[in-house]
């Protein structure tokens, strides 16, 4: 039985228009992502990968074309509905972590569940379980500003998992951490994917992209490669 498509992008374009300038950020892009995939979307600065990330994250809408997440046409939703999609179905992991600095790791992970009105006892137990999952069982009561960059990103991953989202959307997740810690973060992503999580990672780093099972390369707003085979060759020939 074939895996169901979780994401469908059809003929997606995004144009930024001012009085004097028209910028085509995405140009007729189409692809699908199935439940359980680990996909890296990569490209150089200005390629359009950040625009794709904003649209996938329901942070922006396309100029034309469609984006379906779990069968729902995200481009047709109003602002309140987009906020609901972000809270329920998308777990964000940012380059800058976006943690509260003087707040414990547990409380940082609890926040999305608190906003969703989940019972306090259940949300703290889940936060502790997720922090143990990412290897931070000894840092439950540390504040985030007492942690290394790699440890802070682990907290961010636990927080992203807290609402059991349909997708984990990681934007340059290793951009602010040392290479050894970056490898540890990628190992966590690979384990999460093995456990069934769908992961979409935006990156400009070929060595980071190679940890994914599939690589989509974008340049000048167009997809120039999309493959699960010969990943290094695909990157070298397309990037």
Residue 3 pLDDT > 80: no
pTM above the 0.75 mark?
yes
Distance CA(213)–CA(107), nearest Å, equals 33
What is the per-residue pLDDT across 56-89, written as a single tens digit (0 to 9) for each? 999 999 999 999 999 999 988 999 999 999 998 9
CB 82 within 8 A of CB 74: yes
Residue 239 pLDDT > 80: no
Ordered domains of the chain (ranges, CATH): 38-53+88-238 (3.40.50.300)
What is the per-residue pLDDT across 128-167, written as a single tens digit (0 to 9) for each? 999 999 999 999 999 999 999 999 999 999 999 999 999 9
- Residues 123-154: b if buried by 16+ CB within 10 A, e if exposed: bbebbbebbebbebeebeeebbeebebbbbbb
Q: Is 157 helix (H, G, I), strand (E, B) or coil?
A: helix
**164 φ, ψ to 5°?**
45, 65
pLDDT for the residue 104:
96
Residues with Cβ within 8 Å of residue 122, at least 6 apart in sequence: 113
What is the per-residue pLDDT across 85-122, written as a single tens digit (0 to 9) for each? 999 899 999 999 999 999 999 999 999 999 889 998 89
HSE-CB of 167 using CA atoms within 13 angstroms: 26
**C-alpha R_g of the chain:** 18
pLDDT for the residue 1:
43
Residues with Cβ within 8 Å of residue 107, at least 6 apart in sequence: 100, 127
């Amino acid at each position: 039985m074939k895996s169901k498509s979780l994401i469908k992008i059809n003929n997606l374009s995004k144009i930024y228009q001012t009085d004097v300038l028209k910028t085509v950020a995405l140009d007729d892009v189409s692809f699908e992502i199935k439940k359980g995939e680990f996909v890296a979307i990569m490209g150089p600065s200005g390629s359009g990968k950040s625009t794709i990330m904003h649209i996938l994250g329901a942070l922006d809408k396309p100029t034309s074309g469609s984006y379906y997440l779990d069968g729902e046409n995200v481009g047709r939703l109003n602002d309140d509905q987009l906020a609901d999609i972000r809270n329920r179905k998308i777990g964000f992991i940012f380059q800058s972590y976006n943690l509260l600095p003087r707040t414990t790791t547990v409380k940082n992970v609890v926040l999305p569940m608190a906003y969703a009105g989940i019972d306090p006892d259940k949300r703290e137990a889940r936060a502790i379980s997720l922090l143990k999952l990412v290897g931070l069982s000894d840092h439950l009561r540390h504040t985030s500003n007492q942690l290394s960059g790699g440890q802070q990103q682990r907290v961010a991953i636990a927080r992203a998992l807290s609402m059991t989202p349909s997708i984990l959307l990681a934007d340059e997740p290793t951009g602010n951490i040392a290479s050894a810690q970056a490898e540890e973060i990628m190992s966590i992503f690979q384990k999460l994917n093995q456990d069934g999580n769908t992961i979409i990672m935006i990156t400009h780093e070929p060595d980071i992209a190679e940890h994914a099972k599939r690589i989509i390369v974008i340049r000048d707003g167009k997809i120039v490669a999309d493959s699960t085979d010969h990943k290094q060759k695909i990157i070298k020939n397309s990037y």
